[in-house]
Structures are given as structure tokens and as C-alpha cells.
Chain A
Amino acid sequence: MTTRGFRSLLAVLDAGFEPVGVAMGAVAFQMLRPGGCRGVYGAAYTTSDPVVYPTYEQALFDTWTAAVTRLEAEAVRLGAHGVVGVTVKQEWLPGAPSVLQFQLTGSAVRVRTVAPLARPFLSMLSMEQTLKLLLRGWVPCGVAFGVAAIHIHKWGSSAFWQGNTFTNAEMASPTAGMQLARSRAQHGFRQSLASCKADGAVGARVELSNQTESCGGGRGMGMRLEGRMVGTGVVRFGAAAVPVDAYLSLAGSKQ
């Protein structure tokens, strides 16, 4: 059983792997979301600098780690060497808004002649992509994750309060907040990547979402930014086995 189609199965077999089943790691975690910069986790602000929510970031990261651990455990139970095509689903449960669910699902694969690994590899790449990497001397080694949560104050993001109601101007506070959110997500991602002993990552994505939240003390509504970076770690194991070639494909041509 695999999570992808027939073509993916062919690639699995061609690389010397055999599918052993669908593996899943899921966790539902009750989590107190920050209630504004004077809320549950934050401190009262005295400057226009963005506020970081470190406890909330850590809670998000712990949830992710728990889901990954369960996915790896399930892969080990299946006798797999790795899980490919891992998809990540993250959602606040609609019926229980303080419960965050992380669900990781993928196809567990193994090489019949090789002894089990202490820790199976995880990859968000499809088996076709994994096969290309293998042929060029690279192998996926883990899924890395970084997260950030930042508050931007209302007055810092208001052109009126900044004295630029009618003119062009860069908004310093939200710009700094965005940069900080991306940097913190990338910083966490890099640490997660290092723990996989990767040489680097491919297919990484940095996503930012924003939500209005109270600034506290009757100071209006600010913004909470949540950054997330996910990607697949890769490590070099040898030289490329095949050269890169170019061809002209007639597929899709109407002429």
C-alpha cells in the first residue's frame, strides 16, 4: 500500500525499495494561543518593536516533534527504512478551537536485503524525486521544521500614527516584524536540519499567516504573524551515477 499512484510504485521498485504500507504520525495538542501582546504569553509593550511569543513557538515545535516521533515509530513497526512522500496537515480543530492537530502521512519503504535502521529517514519528496536524487549521489535524510510567532502593535502598522496618511513610506515596524518572523522560522528550520545531520534542504517553503489580535489596554487591534518553514533535508552519499542529459519532448505539442 502506498499513498501515491502506480508511477510512484514503479519508481519505488526501480530504486530497489519495496513499499511496506502507509505510515502516519498524528498528535492533537491543547494549546493556549497568545491573547495579544499583553495576553497569556506576552509582556506589556513599551516600544514599537515586534513582540516574540517564545513559549507559543516552543509549544508549536513540541507538537511537531511529537508527530514526527510517532511517524518514525510507526515506520519502525512496519520494518521500514524510510517514509517518502510525507504530507503535513496542520489545523486548529473546528469543534475545539484550542486544539491543534498535526498529521504526517507517507509511504513507508524498505530495502529487503538491508538491516533495519535505528531511525528511519523521512522525506516530503515523492519516490520519483527521491530516485533522481539517488542517481545523482544524494539521499533524503529527514523533514525539517521551523516556526515563529510575532505580534505587531496596532500603532506601528498604522500609516496615520506614523504620519504618512497620504504619502509613500515604508512601514518600519511591520517590515521588521515580517523579517523577524521569517528569520526565526528559518533559524528553527536550520536547527531541525542540523539534527537530521543534513548537508542541506530542497523544496523548502516559508509560509506566513496573519491574524488580528488585541494589543491590550484599549490600544486597538494588532496583528499576530505565524511563520512556518518546512522542507526535506538531503545528504550526499557518493558521486553521481548518471549524467544529466537534455531532450526535446513532443508531449503536449499541438503543432
Chain B
Amino acid sequence: MTPSDDSVSAIDDLPAEAITRLRQLEGVDGARPLFTSDLSVNEFLLIEDCDFEPLGLVVGSSIYHVGIQVVRWTSSRELDVLTRAMYHARELAMARMEAEADELKADGIVGVRLDIRFYDWGRNLAEFMAIGTAVRHRKGGSWKTPAGKPFTSDLTGQDFWTLLQTGQRPVALVMGNCVYHVAHRRMLKALSQAYRNLELPNFTQALYTARELAMERMQHEAQQAQAEGVVGVQIIEKNHIWGHHAIEFFAIGTAVTRYREGGPSLRPRLMLNLDG
């Protein structure tokens, strides 16, 4: 099983309210077009300096019921039902955010954040949310992904500006995950290992395997996006609501590719900051 197999087959239509809001941003109702963004002032000015204009804040979300999977207490293995749920819900949120950006005729989405919140209003119910600022290049050009979607990136405005100076551009936000059950030790074994310094191979192996699976899946997505590399990779480990022995490893980063030949267009100057 790979979570990527669980792809979003059909993007739901955007809610009517969302379409109205996006059209208003474009100014189709006779009003003046205006943008909204969650960019900081520094990010806004740097993105503008790259000849990109912000178009609007785009959001996708999904409230997802994460299923139940039973495993033996003493077995270390991937919890594929949970892996699929966590991946599919994120993918739904991302796809809806991209659909909003498409509606704005954006070239890409910068500063994407993916958040998860578990609510107390239902067991195993979580909200997955993707949010970012849709941007369009003033001079046009081919900034979209090979699949014709707006590019996505979780880089800050500062990192985005720096990346473009080096001749690289973001292609897609790529991710991979793995929810893994780490086996409990049997009572006698735990007692025999008490009060000693020693490696616990089953724990090491389980964590290693889970991390590798998440990384491998992220790399697979980057290859699918025809990227040359992935920058800003983060590996996030969380138990969420499953207790100590079930852990999600989530790898996320921005896949990049070269858009022009040559080295960096700007050589940084060295400055000594006199702040303590």
C-alpha cells in the first residue's frame, strides 16, 4: 500500500460561498479587485519584488473520521488504515486549496501551512486544513506544475525570494507519511532490561522503518512532480490521539526545479549586526 494510491479522484465542487468570495476578489461583481493575504510585511514586499502579485488567501479543509485498526500488542507494523486516513484527508484539503487558487487563475500558492486539529465533538474526528496565499507572476511564464496545477510551497516569503535568486523555483509541496505501531515489550523482557544502559533494537528498528517509509513516499511524490530536489524538508513525529506506541511520521518539503541557467543573480553582502 502506498498512500499516494489513495489519490483524490474527483475534486468536489467548491462551496458556493467560496466561489462568490473568490469572484469578489477578482472584481467580477463590478467592485475593484483586491487581494487578501496572511503574508507578513517582509514576505509581501519580497514576493512583490520577485514580480509576483498576491491574489488572495486560499483555504482547503476536510473534517475526517479516522478509522479504527486493531493490531497485536507485541507487533511492530504500519497501521495502514490510519496512514491512509491521515494522507487522504491532507490531500483533500490541499486539493480544495489548489481548486480555489485555480479559480483565481493563480500561478502558485506560497506560504502553505498544513494544520491538524482534533476536536472534542466526536471520537477520532480531526480537521485537516491547508491555507496559503495565491500568487500570479506579472510577466506570465510557465510557473505551474507539469500537471497544470498552481505550484505549492511551504517556504516563507523570504525563502521563496532567496530560492528564485538562485535560479530554482518551487514545483509542489510534497509529503509522505506513515503511522506505525511500535511493539510493547513483554513483561519478562522489560524486567530483564531494567536498570541497564542498552539499545532497544525493536524500538530503533520500528522508528527507523517508519521514518524511511515517510521519506520514501515524499521522494516518490517529488519524482512524480518532475522535481530536481526537495528543500526545507521537515520530519514531524506526533502521537495525535493514539497513545505512546502509535506514532505518525510526516515528511513534508517543497520540491524545486531549475527555471533558468546560471548561478545566483545576487551576491549577498556581509553585514555585522551590532545587536547583542
Interface, chain A (partner B; CB < 8 A): 125, 129, 132-133, 136, 138, 157-159, 162, 164-171, 174-176, 178-180, 182-184, 186-187, 189-190, 193-194, 198-206, 210, 212, 221, 223, 231, 234, 244-251
A174 vs B165: C-alpha distance when bound (angstroms): 43
Tell me whether B124 and A159 are in contact (CB under 8 A): yes
Please report whether the interface of chain B is mostly helix, strand, loop or mixed according to DSSP.
mixed
Name B25-67 residues within 8 Å CB distance of A. Answer: 25, 31-32, 34-42, 44-46, 48-49, 54, 57, 59, 61-67
B131 at the interface (CB under 8 A from A): yes
Give A50 Cβ to nearest chain B Cβ, in Å: 10
A113 vs B95: C-alpha distance when bound (angstroms): 52
B204 at the interface (CB under 8 A from A): no
Tell me whether B37 and A194 are in contact (CB under 8 A): no
A186 vs B61: C-alpha distance when bound (angstroms): 15
Given contacts A176-B15, A246-B268, contact A182 B35 (CB under 8 A): no
Name B125-145 residues within 8 Å CB distance of A. Answer: 125, 127, 129, 131
Give B192 Cβ to nearest chain A Cβ, in Å: 37
Residues of B within 8 Å of A203, CB to CB, are: 37-41
Q: What are the 8 closest A-B residue pairs judged by CB atoms, nearest first?
A: A200-B35, A183-B17, A174-B63, A251-B273, A129-B41, A168-B85, A168-B67, A247-B271
Total CB contacts across the A-B interface at under 8 A: 166
Given contacts A204-B57, A246-B266, contact A199 B35 (CB under 8 A): yes
B244 at the interface (CB under 8 A from A): no
In this complex, how many residues of chain B approach chain A with their Cβ under 8 Å: the count is 62
- Given A170-B89, A171-B64, 20 additional A-B pairs, CB 8 A: A133-B41, A133-B45, A159-B123, A168-B65, A170-B92, A174-B122, A175-B61, A178-B61, A180-B17, A182-B61, A186-B57, A194-B34, A199-B34, A200-B34, A200-B35, A200-B37, A202-B39, A244-B45, A247-B271, A250-B271
Residues of B within 8 Å of A201, CB to CB, are: 34-37
Residues of A within 8 Å of B120, CB to CB, are: 212
A58 vs B120: C-alpha distance when bound (angstroms): 28
